[in-house]
């Protein structure tokens, strides 16, 4: 596969470009709206072609685009790529409103291109094992779920993520959106309502939220609580599921790496659940994306998955703003 990168981003440089090359794909070229940035990024990452114009990138002999620009730009760039017949892997959130998200999905379907969302966490072998535990009813009927996803945002990633609401800043659109996707994948159900609180603990100069706590009600009756933060550097991420026949606690699992441990506790006591698959999350994402293009299944996270995760995050923001329970279809 040949890829065009829309966005000269940190995530592309540190995670996705190495994964593309590991998967045997070619990084054909990169686009940044800033000419100097495009040129220097291409040189640093050993990419042959660079441009500051999306029209130029879409004219290249590439199969697909990876979109990792600021969140406000995803929609128009994805629509342009779909209309050019390029398959799309888009960073989350796919858009900043429901209408743009639906338009992206519709244009991809109309043009017959694969549209996937880079929700890397669900590709982890640990999370695949968690979904097996749920599907095999080892926990019985699940009643409660909890995700702790609080981190310290590295200084190199702060910038617009903390100070530009127009570009889609804040912990909700950066981390809560991943947690919504993780819950949907594990529970096999959709959110019906949410109540949430957010706060700003000094990282942002403009009051953008850096911490959130959310409670989601799912259609299958599960109540899920999530905690997210950019301002807590020494915590360990975790994912818990509690049911009628057992409880599962997975630690160090809401990460970019195939790490973590699962402990299952039931009437027989506590035991560690072995996880054989420790493969790179991004390589797995890309290889599955390639299979989907060839008609062999679907991406790990489709455009529809990206839409649902975005909608859940937008419901969180609305609930926090209005201090009330928000039904998912209000967004």
% pLDDT > 90, the chain: 94
Q: How many residues does the chain have?
A: 331
Residues of CATH 3.30.360.10 domain(s) within the chain? 124-277+310-330
Strands 238-243 and 246-251: antiparallel
Bridge partners of 269, per DSSP, are: 266
**Would you state the pLDDT for residue 172?**
97
Q: Using omega within 30 degrees of 0 as the cis cutoff, is the peptide bond preceding 318 cis?
A: no
| 84 φ, ψ (degrees, to nearest 5) | -90, 0
> pLDDT by residue (tens digit) across 13-64?
999 999 999 999 999 999 999 999 999 999 999 999 999 999 999 999 999 9
pLDDT tens by residue, 167-225: 899 999 999 999 999 999 999 999 999 999 999 998 988 889 999 999 999 999 999 99
Provide the pLDDT for residue 164: 81
CATH 3.40.50.720 fits 2-120+284-301, yes or no: yes
Interval 238-255 mean pLDDT: 98
Model confidence, pTM: 0.97
Among residues 131, 120, 128, 126, the alpha carbon closest in space to that of 281 is found at: 120
Within a 10 A sphere around the Cβ of 267, how many other Cβ atoms?
Answer: 6
**Token code pair at residue 271:** 């035991």
pLDDT surpasses 90 at 9: yes
What number of helices (H) and strands (E) belong to the chain? 12, 15
Are 148 and 253 within 8 A, CB to CB?
no
Instruction: Please give the sequence-ordered ranges of beta strands (E in DSSP) within the chain, or none if there are none.
Output: 2-6, 26-31, 49-51, 64-67, 87-90, 115-117, 142-150, 191-199, 211-218, 223-229, 238-243, 246-251, 261-266, 269-273, 326-327
Residue 156 pLDDT > 90: no
pLDDT at 158: 85
Residues 124-277+310-330, CATH architecture: 2-Layer Sandwich (3.30)
CATH 3.40.50.720 location in the chain:
2-120+284-301
287: left (phi over 0), alpha (psi -120 to 50) or beta: alpha
């Amino acid at each position: 596969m040949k890829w065009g990168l829309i966005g000269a981003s940190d995530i592309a440089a540190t995670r996705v470009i190495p994964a593309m090359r590991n998967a045997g794909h070619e990084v054909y070229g990169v686009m940044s709206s800033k000419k100097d940035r495009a040129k220097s990024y291409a040189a640093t990452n050993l990419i042959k072609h660079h441009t500051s114009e999306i029209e130029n990138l879409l004219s290249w002999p590439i199969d697909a685009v990876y979109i990792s620009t600021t969140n406000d730009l995803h929609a128009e760039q994805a629509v342009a790529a779909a209309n050019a017949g390029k398959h799309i892997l888009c960073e989350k959130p796919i858009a900043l409103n429901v209408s743009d998200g639906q338009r992206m999905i519709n244009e991809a379907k109309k043009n017959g291109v694969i549209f996937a969302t880079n929700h890397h966490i669900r590709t982890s072998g640990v999370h695949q094992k968690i979904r097996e535990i749920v599907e095999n009813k080892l926990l019985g009927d699940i009643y409660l779920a909890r995700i702790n996803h609080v981190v310290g945002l590295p200084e190199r990633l702060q910038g617009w993520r903390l100070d530009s609401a127009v570009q889609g800043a804040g912990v909700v659109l950066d981390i809560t959106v991943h947690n919504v996707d993780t819950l949907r994948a594990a529970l096999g159900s959709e959110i019906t309502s949410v109540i949430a609180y957010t706060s700003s603990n000094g990282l942002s100069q403009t009051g953008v939220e850096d911490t959130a706590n959310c409670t989601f009600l799912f259609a299958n009756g599960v109540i899920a609580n999530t905690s997210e933060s950019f301002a807590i550097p020494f915590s360990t991420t975790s994912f818990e599921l509690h049911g009628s026949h057992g409880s599962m606690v997975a630690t160090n699992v809401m990460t970019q790496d195939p790490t973590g441990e699962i402990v299952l506790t039931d009437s027989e006591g506590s035991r560690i659940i072995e996880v054989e698959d420790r493969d790179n999350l991004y390589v797995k994402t890309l290889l599955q994306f390639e299979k989907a293009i060839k008609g062999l299944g679907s991406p790990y996270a489709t455009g529809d998955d990206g839409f649902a995760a975005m909608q859940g995050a937008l419901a969180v923001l609305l609930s926090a703003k209005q201090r009330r329970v928000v039904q998912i279809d209000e967004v």
